[in-house]
Every structure is written in structure tokens, then in C-alpha cells.
Structure 1
Amino acid sequence: MSLQLSIACRPYDRIAALMNGSVAVEGCRTTILPLAAEEIFSRAYSRAEFDVSELSMSSHIITTEKGISPYVGIPVFMSRMFRHSAIYIRTDLGISSPQDLRGRTLGVPEYQMTAALWVRGMLSDIYGVNAEHIAWRTGGLQQPGRREKFGMTFSSPFNVQPIPEDQTLDALLARGELDGIVSARAPSCFLNKTAPVRRLFENFEAEEKDYYRKTGLFPIMHVIGVRRDLLDRHPWLASSLFKAFDAAKRACLAAIEDDNALQLMLPWSLQHYAETRSLMGDDYWPYGVAKNRAALDAMVRYSREQGLTSSISDPRELFAPCDEHQAKA
């Protein structure tokens, strides 16, 4: 009898083959729930509603160390993104370089969020600006009341405090009560040009490519997790999920490579794809622990250095054993 699985994931191109049924999870019948990431995270971490779920990678590291995660990781990385574009600063404060962020006050929706983890890691590794050199203020970007997950609090040397419950980061930035914001989404005062705000890295594409040349790191944002109790009963499930997600990714890449008709609504997508492979290699979005060891080691180190975790040092602790070599090369 097949195992019935619910899979919650944003409807990325790289899972389209799972969604349309052209790729199956061996031994399983699946129901795919294509939801927004924020909704998935809330429902997964609060009630473990899904058998298989997209998870925040930073949150996964934290909850694994705390022993409160209902999920075990599968080394399938649904979301990856360079984050130089995520730093917004006021233009009337003399901030022109990353080093100018020392001693400043920056807003961030949650200190523990993965985008912020990578931004702080990049600032520290490349520019010598550590997390403790900046005062961090947490809260909702556009809607008030957002708080850190998992009851996290921070002590010296980290200056992390919530903003008032009735305030938003966007409003504080617009009024000049914050020097800048680190956010995966752009603040409305930047988009609407209602305040003197710009990105710190205005040519962020060039900066991100240079960062990749220097470090070889393509930042991991989200990971797939499977419920721990389900995996305990069906240990074969980890390898079946890995194989299926990998097959779906390969189907996505084959569609992107098809030059008969564009898969994406971008006129020069084939050229962008060729340029990406020239810089990052053919397998620029790998799954598996071994192929992502440098990025995973960096994330675990950043989490410790930034006061989020203290004991996890080996990223293999975050994942279920699975045969990564079963997937077709």
C-alpha cells in the first residue's frame, strides 16, 4: 500500500514535475499544497500540519539544536538567493560602504531569519563588520506586531530589541528612526520613493557575482523537511523524497534549456542561463549535503557567531541519512 503524503511548498518551477504528476515519490501518493512560504513556516512550526514541508534553513538549524523541531531535514534546497540586494539604507546619514554600518541601528523582521543570517555573515567575512557591531531592531516590515519565533532572546554582546508593537520597520525607516533595514522584501518607502532610501549595494548583481567568485557560496535559504515521527516509521522515505525532488529539478532545467520556445517570460532567459552556468558551473543549484558542504558549514558557523546557536558544528546533524547517489547525475 502506498503512503499518503502532504507536501507544502511554494510552487517553484523546480517542483512543477511533482505538482503535475510527471515525477512521483516512490512508494507514496502525494498531495502538493502550493502555499506562500510565510504561511508554510507558521503552520509547520506551530502545528506540524504537513508531512513534508519547506522550512527556513536558519530556523531549521535553531530548532534542531533546541530539540523542538518536528521535522528532519532532507538536503533539498528549494530556495537560494544572494542577499546583497536586501540591505536598504538612508541616504542622508553618510552611509556609503558596508564599513559605515558599524555603530548603526538596522531593522530586521526577525533576527533569526535566513536572509539576515547570510547578510550578517557576508558583512563579517568580507567587510569585517560583525553582528555585534550593529544594533538590531526587530518587528514587522509593513504590518506591526511581528516577533521572533521560538521565544528567542539575545544578550550581550548582541544588541537585539523589538520595536514597539504598534510600529513598523518601514515607518521607522521613513521617519529616520532607523538607519537602515535588512529585509528579503523591499520596504514600501523605498519602492514608492517617499523617503531618502536606497540599496547599500546599488549594483547588487555585480557585487553578488564578485562575492561568488571570492567565496564559491550560493546562499541557501529554504530546505525540505519530513516529519520526524513519519520518518521513524518509514526510514526509506528520506531517499525516496530526495530522488523525487532531484528528478523534478532536472526536469525544470531541461525545460529551461529548450531553445525552441522560452520556458520563462524573460526575453533573454537563455542568455542569462548560459551566463550563470559559465560563472557557477553546470550544477549551480545542487542538492545533497556533500555538494553543499561549504555553504552549510558557513551557515552553521554564522549561526554560532551571531548568537543564534551554540552547539551544532556539523551540518550532517541537520539531515536524515539518505542515499544522495541514487539520484541520476
Structure 2
Amino acid sequence: MTETQTPIHTLLAEYGVTRALRNGEVNSTLLRLNYADYDPSNLGFKAFVSEAAFQAGELAIVTFLMAKARGAPLVLMPAPISGRFQHHCIAYNAENRHLSPKDLEGKRVGVRAYTQTTGVWVRGILQNEYGVDLDKITWVCFEDAHVENYAEPSNVTRGQKGQKLVDMLLDGSLDAAMLGSNMPDDPRLKTVIPDPNEAAKAWYDRTGVIPLNHVFVVREDLSRERPDLVRELYRMLKESKAKAGLKGLDTRPYGVEANRKTLQTIIRYSRQQGLINRLLEVDELFDDVTRALE
């Protein structure tokens, strides 16, 4: 680090879009990113939102919304770190029974945490696209929320420590589970949403929504006191993403307007599910500095 570089304590894992940033291929004369040692990065989310332990870094979008609604001094940058369609992320064991979305009512569905972003997206899709009454489902969860002052709904119960969702699904103690990227290649497991890839494509064509997962956030004081560093951070993130050479549909579009519909949707889902106490406005997630980033 040179005398002119400002150190930024950062929470950010290595992904395709951040690899050039993490390995130093993308750098800056203005700042140096000092990376916190969390693997996976979500182990640092609680410290980020409750203790402001980092000046900048990634958060799950739902964790950010819950923290922002509770007054956390954090500002969103229009720079998604990860995003994907979620229709395929809930599965059932076809050896036990066939399940359609409406069949989930009255059943036990597992998810790592009730506030997990994948779970919020999938529940929102089930409720708004398939008419599922989420209150009629028993949600079996294993982890607490990253934010403080949050009480889970009465139809959330705790699974035993050490149990795995896939094992519970296969032994019949769960009727369905949200497995996300952990979906095993097992012929017994089928997706609750039929033809999920086609369903996701049709949903995107109709809504323009690409489900965000992790987003990049900075502390309010950094943006207020050093807007030049925030703009430089954005440049670096953008350059690192470009070096990843992504093909096809951009599931991590940069800019406020490119993410407005998606943010409106996840805000609505979060409010419907009781994770935030009011409908946040998209523009209040940003400040004057980050709102102007393109």
C-alpha cells in the first residue's frame, strides 16, 4: 500500500465477477481493499449489519433490506455480486409423493433460514405466481436471521442441529426443501415448480425481474466522507466483472434503473413475508453518490 492509498476493510468472497479484484489484477492508486477472512462470506453478514464491522462489501439483498429498514447506516451500490433464477430451487422426493406448488399447503418445508434470500424469492414466487398460502406451511429452519430485533412467524419451527436438508427430504421428515445450489443429482428429487427453467424464462419475459442474491454495500460514513472512494470502488467492481467474460443474459446488471424492477419485487416479497415493516422505496436504498453510478 502506498501512502496515497486509503485502506478499505472489505467483506467480499471470490466469484467469477470478483476474481480480478481479489487477485489484484484490478487495482487502484486511491484505495486498497483489505479483505476480511470469512469463508463463506455469509458468516460475516451479522457483523456487517449489527456492528458495522466492514466499510464495504457484499450482503444478501434480503439481509440488506432488513438491516436498512431497521436503520442500519448502510448504502446500496447498484453493483450486484450474484443473481440467478430461483424457480428450480425447491424440490420434493418423488418416491414419497408428487407435489405441485399448491400441495405444499399443510406440509413441512425445509430452508436453511427463514430470512435466507433464496427462500424469500421462492416463497414470493409461490405466493404471487402460484397462489400458495405461505401461512399454511410449516417452515423448518436451522439458522437465525443476520439482523437483530426480528421475530420469526409462528409457523416456523427449528430443525435439529446437524441435520441436513437433503437427508431429511430423502427420509421423509420433510415434504419439500429449498436446496438452491446444493441440489444433488438424485433422480428421486424433482422440482416443485414444473419445468422450472421454462417457468423462469416466461416469468422474466413478463416481469423483467432477475432475482438478485448478493449485492455490494458501503457504510454511510464512507460514502459521505469519501465519495471519490465509493466511485472508485464501483469502477473496480465494474472492471472486474468485465474481465470475467460472462456470456448470455446478464444476471448482474449494473445501474439503478437496470435493477429497479427487481428491487421493487424483492421489497414487496420481503414485506409480504413480514421481514420488513414497511415497503421501502428503491431510491432510499441509495444515497446521492451511489444513485448516480452508472
TM-score where L is the length of structure 1 = 0.77
Provide the rounded CA distance (Å) in 2 between the counterparts of 1:288 and 1:38. 24
Equivalent residue letter for 2:255 = G
- Post-superposition CA distance 1:126-163 (Å, at most 9, x none): 11114223221111xxxxxx3333353234xx622222
SS of the equivalent of 1:322 reads: helix
1:27-176 correspondence to structure 2 within 5 Å: 27-32=30-35, 35-45=39-49, 47-67=51-71, 69=72, 71-139=74-142, 146-151=143-148, 152-155=150-153, 159-165=155-161, 167-176=163-172
Alpha carbons of 1:238 and 1:174: their partners in 2 closer, same or farther (altered >3 Å)?
same
3-state SS, counterpart of residue 13 of structure 1: coil
8 Å CA contact retained: 1:72, 1:228:
yes
1:94 Cα deviation from its structure 2 partner:
3.6
Alignment of 1:241-320 (within 5 A): 241-253=233-245, 256=246, 273=247, 276-277=248-249, 285-320=252-287
How many Å separate the matches in 2 of 1:216 and 1:103? Answer: 32
> Contact 2:90 / 2:192 at 8 angstroms: preserved in 1?
yes
Q: Find 1:198's aligned residue among 186, 190, 194.
A: 190
Deviation at 1:199, TM superposition (A): 2.8
Shift of 1:218: 0.9
Contact 1:9–1:37 (CA under 8 A) maintained in structure 2: yes
> Which residue of structure 1 lines up, in the alignment, with residue 22 of structure 2?
19
- Verify the 8 A CA contact 1:87 1:199 in the aligned structure 2: yes
Mean Cα deviation higher: 57-66 or 21-30:
21-30
Q: Distance in 1 between matches of 2:95 and 2:186?
A: 17
Give, in angstroms, the shift of residue 192 of structure 1.
6.2
1:220 corresponds to which residue? 212
Offset at 1:93? 4.7
How far off its partner does 1:22 sit?
Answer: 4.1
User: 8 Å contact 1:116–1:183 — kept in the other structure?
Assistant: no
Q: What's the CA shift for 1:110?
A: 0.6
Amino acid at match of 1:322: V
Tell me by how many angstroms 1:185 deviates. 4.1
Confirm whether residue 229 of structure 1 aligns to residue 221 of structure 2. yes
CA 1:92–1:16 in 2, change beyond 3 Å: closer, same or farther?
closer
Q: SS at the partner of 1:76?
A: coil
**Two-structure CA RMSD over aligned residues (Å):** 2.7
Give the structure 2 partner of residue 209 of structure 1. 201
Q: Is the Cα–Cα contact under 8 Å of residues 45 and 146 in structure 2 kept in the other structure?
A: no
Say which is worse superposed, 90-99 or 176-185, in terms of deviation: 90-99
Identity among equivalent pairs (%): 28
Give the aligned residue type for 1:133.
K
Q: 1:133 to 1:236 in 2, by over 3 A?
A: farther
| Cα distance in 1 between the residues matched to 2:271 and 2:87 | 21
Letter of the aligned partner of 1:234 in structure 2?
R
Aligned equivalents of 2:114 and 2:289: distance in 1? 31
Greater length-normalized contact order (CA 8 Å, ≥ 6 residues apart): 2
Deviation at 1:205, TM superposition (A): 2.8
Q: Which 4+ residue blocks in structure 1 deviate beyond 4 angstroms?
A: 32-35, 165-168, 190-193, 323-327
Counterpart in the other structure of 2:231: 239
Matched position secondary structure for 2:85: coil
Where 1:124 maps in the other structure, the secondary structure is: helix
The TM-score, its normalising length taken from structure 2, stands at: 0.85
Cα pair 1:147 1:162 within 8 Å, conserved: no
